[in-house]
Structure formats: structure tokens, C-alpha cells
Structure 1
Amino acid sequence: MHTRISRDDKLFIAVSVTLVFIVVAATLYPFLYVFSSSISDPLAVLQNKVWLWPVGFSLAAYQKLLLYPQIGIGYMNTLFYTTVGTAVNIVLSAMMGYSLSRKTLVFRNFFIILVTFTLMFSGGLIPTFLIVKNLGLLDTRWALILPTAISAWNLLLLKTFFENIPKELEEAAIIDGCTDMQVLYRIMVPLSMPALATITLFYAVGHWNSYFNALIYLNDPQRFPIQIFLRNIVIGSQTSGAVDTTGTSVDNSIMTESLKYTMIMIVSTPIIIVYPFIQRHFVSGIMVGSVKG
């Protein structure tokens, strides 16, 4: 038996499909435009001839950037900041989130109010800089990791997720002789993989895209993340220092636009590749962690 679809339902479906198509097109077009510009002829990019598809296929910008030694250094630094920083974020957020989820914690409400307060107010740039300086972290790799070790939003998300786990599991583990740390890493963490995967994505993307803290706290170019070089290329401050190793006669003034788009592609591609592997946990982690049942 076939269900007859009313005219109003057909209209609703048509409008919904049209809106989804517009949103998808608006989302994909900037990425497609950047990709097409990165593999187009530099002169065509400079003359704004690229709208959707590549014009005059060329990998000259990729060749120039990949042979630029600072790109490799920046990539390795960014990988370090992302992996180590995310690991620190997850460990500390899990420990503090589990602690705040226990109603037996002394001064629990005070700590929750304190964490929530930081969502609306912060100490500001100068006090934070002075703290980093007085701790001896200035111009060190840890200056990009420790000041952002815990995100208040991600912490509250994980805390709420822990609160939704049945208390009977924790009580059974304690009866079996588990300590609080053993309960956390043997019971809570395995059951919280959707939430942990979600905040791992948040933390990793934050570290990967971060550049402002590096501008403030780092002076040694050997510690700069790749985003600093992307920023310098986008504003045109580094293009004149890059050596043309492609063997072409295209000068730096023509290559500037292509280098910008190519650098964006080089920086964005790793996160785009990683995201699908975590995306399946994303919705469940957000929904379960944000609504207490």
C-alpha cells in the first residue's frame, strides 16, 4: 500500500531540498574556489579569471612552497602542538570533568561556578602574557599548550556526559576495589568515547588553526607553527623571501595570489582528512553531553 503525499508535503520537501542544496553549495564553493586557484596558472589567478574550475593547470605554487624550508619546520611544529596539546587537553579535561561530576566533591558548586564564570569573563591579554612570562614559558613550546590546557566549554560538556553514566557502574567498580583513578580510566573513559572524540576534534582543530598565541609568546622562527607562515604569506610579507625553484619565469608579484591559495590548501587538508573519521561520534557526543537525561 502506497502512502499518498499531499501537496503541502511535496512543497515542504521541495523547499527543504532547495535550502539544503543552497547551503551545501555555499559551503563547498569557497573550498572549490581555493583549490582551483591553487592549481591554476598564476597569471590567470592574478587576473581573477578563476571562478569555479582551474584555468591553465599549473603546480608552480605547490613546487615553490614545498621546497621552502620553513614549511617543513612549521608543519612539524604544528603536529607537535596539536598532538601533545590535545593529549594534555583530554587528560586534564577528563580528570577535572569526572571530579566535577561527583556530587561528593568538596566545594563542587564553587568550582562549577568558577569554571562557568570563565565562559563570560577572562583575565585579558596583558595579565595572561605576564603569567606566561613569570612562569618562564615565554618563547617555549609549552607557551602554546599550558595556557589553553582546559577549555571551560569542553570541560562542562564532558562533566555532563559523566553525570549521565549510571552510578551503579561506579559503585560496582568501587566494591570490586577500584580507586577513583581506576574508575575513571577503566569505566568512565571507555563509556565516554563519543564525548571524548567530540572534544578531541574541538581541541585538535583549535590547536591546528591557532596562530595568535604564537605571535604573542614566540620569538624563535624555529618554533613557529605552520599558521604563522600562512599568515605571513597571506599578508605578503614572506613571498619576496621565497626562492623560485620551479624554473619558471613567473616573478613573485604574479605568484603571490597563487601562493596564498596553495598555502591554505596545504594547511587545511590534514584536518579535512581527519574529520570524517571522528564525524560519526560528533552528533552523539554533542547531544548526549549537552542534555542531561
Structure 2
Amino acid sequence: MANPLVRVTPLGRAFDIANYLFLGLFALSILYPFWTVITTSLASPASLPGRGLHLWNEEWRTEAWAFMFRENAVGTAYLNTLHRVVFGTTLTLFVTFCAAYALSKRNLPGRGVITFLLVFTLFFQGGIIPTYLLVRNLGMINSRWVLVVIPAIAAFNIIITRNFIMTIDQAMEDSAVIDGASYWRIMFSIFIPLVEAGAGRHRAVDGGKPLERVLLLRDIVQRLQGFQTDDSMQRLIEELRAQGIEPDWARIPHRSIQAATTLITIGPVVLFYPFVQKYFVKGVMLGSVKG
């Protein structure tokens, strides 16, 4: 409802119309591809060949979704994601805050050497082979714990968090020490809440390392990856038919499987990103010292 006290000029009304039109088209350009992927995943085999972008299916089928959830790869992938979110995030944040808080103390013995070693790993790394040998010797090949232990110590996150802590007024810690607070109490009650926004940003943009995915490859994942290309899919079907095998998924359009796989993959991102987006808008540090 327009405010009667505000005078709307023709130029202002034209700007509002153009603004609404632009935002509407922008939103449509984002939502339309999502809707197209949804309709493709639920399309029948007869309606897929030669069709482009469209809004509605003449016939709806759920075979692609049923096939995807019959495979163990989907449940395993979601279980790995949940395992990493719960245990990986907890361990990573705990190690990051402990290391950052200790390195923020200028009187820490060996502080410069430890910081140099952390920065050194940002520019020079051992490589995939030494890391693989280390993980193999630890017995974590094809183990979900490789998603938790390997990224637990992130040098970049430690350095950034240390910088956050060093920008907080020292008077806050001094007052807590006078009141008899221990270092653990100071870290958990003062510094962690103040750099909570920075911690949320770390976890929101942390995408994981390719090596972790390599160490968790399974045969079913490799077969599902074959569905992503037309040639691989067709070649696999022809080989099975030559052996007299007609799998049930051969009758499912590969484009529907691709679309269903896409939606299953981006599902957690679409659901959980709005909850961490506030950390990008909120900022990276809050203060509580009165001037």
C-alpha cells in the first residue's frame, strides 16, 4: 500500500516498474533452470528426445528417482556428508581455535617458528603421493574418518582466526584474568563467541579437498559417474546387452538420471546455505568493550 504522504512522480513510478521488471526477470532466470532440471528428472522416455527447455511434462515418471535411491551411493554420500558436518566441523573448529588462540599470544615460546611452518605449508605441500601413503599407513583408506582427520588442521583458517583474535581488545582478556578465569574459560566464553562470524564463514566456504574424495572412491560411484556422459552410458548398455543382460536402469533415460543426480547433489546446499548466509552479511567480528 502506497504511503499517502509520499508524492510519487512519473519518473519514480517508471523506476519502480523497471526495478520490479528487472528483479522479476532475474529471479526467473534463476528459477527456470531449476524447474527444467526437475521436469527432466520426472519426464517419460517418449518426451525426452529432441526437446529443449520446457515448463511441463506430458507424462510424469519417477523411475529415475527410484533408481537413484535404490543405489547405495546416494545413502553413502549423504551419510558421508552428515558425518563430516557433525564430526569434521566440531574437530576442525576445536583445533583451529586452540591453535589460533595459542598463536595469538606474543609470549608463546616458538611462536614465530610455528607460524612460519603453517605459512610454509600454504606455498609448499608434500603432494598427493606422500599424503596418500600417510593416510594408508593410518588405515583410513575408504574410511569416513579421512573426511574428519585430514582437513582438521587448516593452516589458512588458523592464521585468519589468529588475526581475528589479535584484533580483539586485550582489556577483555585482562579483566577476565583478574576475575580468575582460566585460559580455557577465556577462549570458550570470550574469544569463540566474538569470532563466531569468522568461524561460520570458514565452514560455509570450506569445500573439501579432492584427495579426500579420491580416497573414498567406490565401484558404485564410478558407475554413477559413467552416467554423466552419453558415450559412457551407451557403451555400458551395449556391453551388457551383448552379454544377454538387460538391466532395469537401461530403460530409464540417462538425461533423467543426470537431472535426478543433479538435484540430489545440490539438495543439501540449497537447504543449508540460507542458515550460513547470515555470516556473510553479519561480518567477521563483533566487539563488546565500552569506550
Quick check: 2:102–2:108 contact (8 Å CA) kept in 1? yes
Q: Distance in 2 between matches of 1:168 and 1:61?
A: 61
1:142 is displaced (CA, Å) by 2.1
2:256 match: 258
Quick check: 2:64–2:252 contact (8 Å CA) kept in 1? no
2:159 match: 156
Q: Distance in 2 between matches of 1:91 and 1:237?
A: 44
Instruction: Return closer, same or farther for 1:108/1:79 CA change in 2, 3 Å cut-off.
Output: same
**Alignment TM-score, normalising by the size of structure 1:** 0.73
Letter in 2 for 1:272: V
2:277 match: 279
Does 1:142 pair with 2:134? Answer: no
Q: Distance in 1 between matches of 2:250 and 2:131?
A: 39
1:89 match: 92
Letter in 2 for 1:165: I
The structure 2 residue matched to 1:186, chosen from 175, 189, 205, is: 189
Gap runs ≥5 in structure 2: 241-245, 287-291
2:55 match: 53
Gap runs ≥5 in structure 1: 245-250
Question: Identity percentage over the alignment?
Answer: 26
RMSD: 3.8
**Greater displacement, 68-77 / 118-127:** 68-77
Quick check: 1:37–1:50 contact (8 Å CA) kept in 2? no
Q: Distance in 1 between matches of 2:210 and 2:233?
A: 16
Quick check: 2:164–2:195 contact (8 Å CA) kept in 1? yes
Q: Distance in 1 between matches of 2:91 and 2:154?
A: 11
Q: Distance in 2 between matches of 1:197 and 1:26?
A: 29
Letter in 2 for 1:256: H
What does the per-residue CA deviation read over 1:146-188, in whole Å, with 9 as the maximum and x for residues that have no partner?
1221333322332222222221111111222222222111111
The structure 2 residue matched to 1:124, chosen from 121, 124, 127, is: 127
Higher-Rg structure is: 2
1:232 is displaced (CA, Å) by 4.7
For CA contacts below 8 A with separation 6 or more, give which structure has more relative contact order: 1
Letter in 1 for 2:192: V
1:91 is displaced (CA, Å) by 1.2
1:247 match: none
Residues 59-98 of structure 1 correspond to what in structure 2 (within 5 A)? 59-98=62-101
